[in-house]
Structure 1
Amino acid sequence: MTSVVDLDAVGPRLKSAREARGLTLDQVAELSGLSKAHLSRLESGERQASIGALVDLAAALSVRVSTILGEDGAGPELATFPVDVPRHSAGGLEIAVCSGFLNSGSIEALRVRVKPNRPGGVPAQHRGEEWLYVLSGTLQLEYDDVKYSIPAHTAVHFNAARPHRMTSRVVTEVLLVAATDQTDLARIRH
């Protein structure tokens, strides 16, 4: 099951989350590491956010990536995610959110399907760490300008602040867990 992320809805969700926390674009830019101009274009729907940008913005706004994508942000303290949860298409990736209990926020787990010959685009960079586990296929991971071929049933763990991007020659399924460091997020909020 696949759904397309409505870019016209993602922008207003970002803006609503920012305003609900009483933050300016400048404050969110500092918290997320993204430029004010880029944030403005994301909020207006002129630009599409990468996974890395979504992770950084979710951490900066104290919301889950799934909330930004339009999924219900409220849930039980124990959450389960069946294999057939809806996928969102963005930038040659199909993303299924598979984490988030009520008030969770320090990690995001996503099942990502990398389509063959996906355009590489600009490498992602965001605060925190990423842990990837290749479920099937072979992931082509470019990390800090070095290309790695990661076969199925292999895990990779890295500093997400370094440039990284995923491509593949065949349909590849990846479990991606992003952990954000939220220790410095409170300093700008007040």
Structure 2
Amino acid sequence: MSEITTPEGANSQLGQCLKAARQARGLTLKQVAERTGMALSTLSKVENGLMSLTYDKLLQLTSGLKMEIAELFNPAVAAPVQGRPVTARRSISRAGQGQVITTKFYTYTYQCTDLIGKRMVPIVAEVRARSLEEFGPLLRHGGEEYFLVTSGRVAVHTEFYAPEILGEGDGIYLDSTMGHAYLNAGEAPSAKGVCLCTSEAPDLYDQLRQIASRDVAPLGNDELPP
């Protein structure tokens, strides 16, 4: 089966929806071509309303972008809302799932890693370090974040404020470009929490993993590679 070339305008909806979905993921046409194995020229013609795609090609495209076919044909899904297109993406994170980075002083489990170009990165954190000497340099990265303590007690150290102690159910919202660190302040061997990091940068997940990987410990049998 091959692509079907049609007059300009006949496939404008498909092209507009593809462009909106691509831009929402922070991808160039070349990156879409690399992820899907489709020709760059074909994708360019589709975006410009000059070409349609057969069903097998649509499956190839949506599979490579980890999206639903409906996103390419539903104007309501692809229409901009307050200047940003709706992607209708979703990802379910089951208990025990996630990309794990473990060091001697903390374990970060990144959730919903099947989605690319996320502007929010959810992390389940287990904090063991009890001092800044153990933890190392304060963390700094783009965006903002919210940390919610789910068990134990957490000491939050920041660059411009005195340390704060958070108990179970307490949370803190902070500017992530400010140096910060989360330490175990309870009697248990570790404290746990959920951290949500946000940024306009499409590579936020990669940035966070690079920072967290600075002190990676040897992998155990139950850990995933970073």
Q: TM-score, normalised by structure 2?
A: 0.44
The secondary structure found in structure 1 opposite 2:163 is: strand
Counterpart of 2:177 in 1: which secondary structure? coil
Identical-pair percentage: 11
Q: How does 1:17-36 map to 2 (within 5 A)?
A: none
Where structure 2 has 5 or more consecutive residues not aligned to the other structure, the ranges are 1-29, 32-63, 68-88, 205-226
Secondary structure of 1:162's partner? Answer: coil
Q: Does 1:152 align with 2:184?
A: no
- Of 126, 135, 138, 1:113 maps to 126
- CA RMSD of superposed structures (Å): 2.9
Q: Which amino acid aligns with 1:178?
A: C
The alpha-carbon distance between structure 1 residues 91 and 159, as it changes in their structure 2 partners (threshold 3 A), is: farther
Shift of 1:101: 5.1
Q: 105, 121, 144: which is aligned to 1:92? A: 105
SS of residue in 1 equivalent to 2:122: strand
The one-character-per-residue Cα deviations of 1:70-121 (angstroms, maximum 9, x if unpaired) are: xxx9756421112212532035111111234534411100000001536121
Q: In 2, are the aligned partners of 1:78 and 1:101 still within 8 Å (CA)?
A: no
Q: How many corresponding residue pairs?
A: 114
Residue 196 of structure 2 aligns with which residue?
177
Higher Cα radius of gyration: 2
Label 1:78 to 1:181 Cα distance change in 2 as closer, same or farther (>3 A). closer
Distance 1:153 1:143 in 2: 20
Tell me the equivalent position of 1:58: none
The Cα of 1:168 is off from its aligned counterpart by: 0.7
Unpaired stretches in structure 1, ≥5 consecutive residues? 1-19, 22-72, 186-190
- Is 1:83 matched with 2:95? yes
Q: Judging changes above 3 Å, is the alpha-carbon distance between structure 1 residues 116 and 94 closer, same or farther for their aligned structure 2 residues?
A: same
Per-residue deviation at 1:141?
Answer: 0.7
**Following superposition, which runs of at least 4 residues in structure 1 exceed 6 angstroms of deviation?**
none
> How far apart, CA to CA, are the structure 2 residues paired with 1:102 and 1:166?
26
**1:15-64: CA deviation from partner (whole Å, max 9, x where unpaired):** xxxxx97xxxxxxxxxxxxxxxxxxxxxxxxxxxxxxxxxxxxxxxxxxx
Measured at CA, do residues 74 and 135 of structure 1 come closer, stay the same or move farther in structure 2, by a change above 3 Å?
A: farther
From the two aligned structures, give the one with the greater strand fraction: 1
Contact 2:165 2:185 in 1 (8 A): no
